[in-house]
Structure 1
Amino acid sequence: MNFFDNAGVMAIGTRLRMLSEKLTEDASRIYEMYEVALKPKWFPVFYVLSQNGQKSITTIANEIGHSHPSVSKIVREMVKEGILSEKKDSKDGRKNNIVLTARGKNIANQILEQYHDVEHAVQAMLDQSRHNMWQAIEEFEFLLEQKSMLKRVTEEKKQREALKVQIVNYEPKYHPFFKSINEDWINTHFVMEEADRRSLENPKEYILDKGGDILVALYDGEPAGVCALIKMNDPEYDYELAKMAVSSKAKGKGIGWLLGKAVENQARAMGARKIYLESNTILKPAINLYHKLGFKKVIGHTTPYKRCNIQMELEL
């Protein structure tokens, strides 16, 4: 049974690591064959110094794409072997530069034949390959720079979990959830106010009967989030987006975004031109979501809430 045949492309990290280990093992033997006193992991540091003279550890780390601690450890090992040394920077006495010692320079001359043979051996293998791995690695690295593997998997996770989300209209059976989830987040960050109590105790009277609406997000059939559209008596705004909350158990599944888009579409279907909302900047995930939905900051509107320190609007 072949592990990679079964695991497929999701084992790419394991496969690249095994390939790296195989090449590193051969590299150690190649250094021995040419009697070059280097270890494979030292090569990037040694090469940049042999080509460009003295450099700080930070500069080396940036050039070879390693972390500062990793380069520091390698430099210490090579200093101990007499290949590198540290010297004060001529322009900044507070900074140390790393340089090749006399022994390091001898190795730099000695290794040239090894460079020639290794380069030709690798190029010959690339020429024999159907796909040029060097170019493929460059392309793969570029794609990861644009968007990390973590980000890509996170997006796939959200897309898969979004298929389990259903946005439905409010029914009386959802009232306990609507009330409790909003009370939880308000009491966690602020203090319940009279306007909260009225709308949460009797959403039918204070929201639905006045021309508003409430949407409920179900995840796997269970309530996971809510959001209300409250009809406004305002010449500029038609509805207020309010009482948006997502269960802590359902965080990270894109439910806030799906609720926001559903409320936006509902407001548009109800003839709204602008949606208004009030929030507080300590609720950073919520503020980021509102910006993502297209809301923009506005000022100058009266509010019944002491906790409000930011007001936003969305033109439909």
Structure 2
Amino acid sequence: MYLPSLAQLALGSRLKSLSDHFYGAVDEVYRACGAGVESRWFPVLRFLWEHGETTVSDVATAIGQTHSAVSQLADKLVEAGLVQRKKDVQDGRRSLLLLTEQGQAALAALGPIWVAVRRGIVRSLGEEGLTTLLTALAATEQSLRERPVVEAMLAEHAELVAAKLEIVPYDPALKEHFYRLNAQWLERHFRIEDIDRELLGDPERHVLAPGGVIFFARLAGEVIGTCALLQESPGVYELSKMGVDETFRGMGAGRSLLAAAIAEFHRRDGKELFLESNSRLKTALRMYEQVGFVMQPAARPGSHYERADVYMVYEPKQGATARAGAAKG
């Protein structure tokens, strides 16, 4: 399924989906049993049933909803004849909520249904599953009270924005990111070919051992991009396996990786640097052209990739070559 693959980013969506599922299930049971209430009314009605007349603020605090949300729900309950509002004699600026006789009678008739709901949930989720879920919910609620999530998110965002992008060489601990980042864009735009699967699955054998190099872009501890410089023969290199996490597009990771690969090519006194790509990848092709790659009139003879219909060769400007030589000296 798609949402689980998004992990933390889809937490709210998954919880809402579960919430809607349970609300819908209980509403269906209420209708089947002839109860004239809705599942979303339950927290307010139950609180008033147990505590008697009280303020909207007290209800909101007790059930963890906003004052506005509870007030709007109270209006619906008043319209349904289950709740009434009356002025607080001690403070005329606020009103009190209390169940009407109709509301009392409606809730009194729900006992067998509530028991059925409790038992049905246990039967569906299992004792252990329900206990795990309720324990996790309690722990989550406690954590959110102690560490508000908005503050945590904004603090992380500030750290990411302030962080300096790093370009680091291959490390075995980063191996999985080489596969992940490349598979992400290949699956989005094309498909993973056998040659991709072989190279990405064992980069130490197919990239590093033959004399190539792999770089990673890292931002505040997050690995957000990668690229490889493959040695085809002495002095001849292929720029390949360039991939940037789509979440971090526009932050300069691609250009920084490209610059690192070109710098390494010059450091090694490389004779030729080429790449293969696809004409659909307009943004990437423009970036390659801007750093000195020149489009060739036809695809590269003997290309290993089915998707490759673009062949580009690096033709550095004299100034860039001179600067690279001076840097080496």
Q: TM-score, normalised on structure 1?
A: 0.48
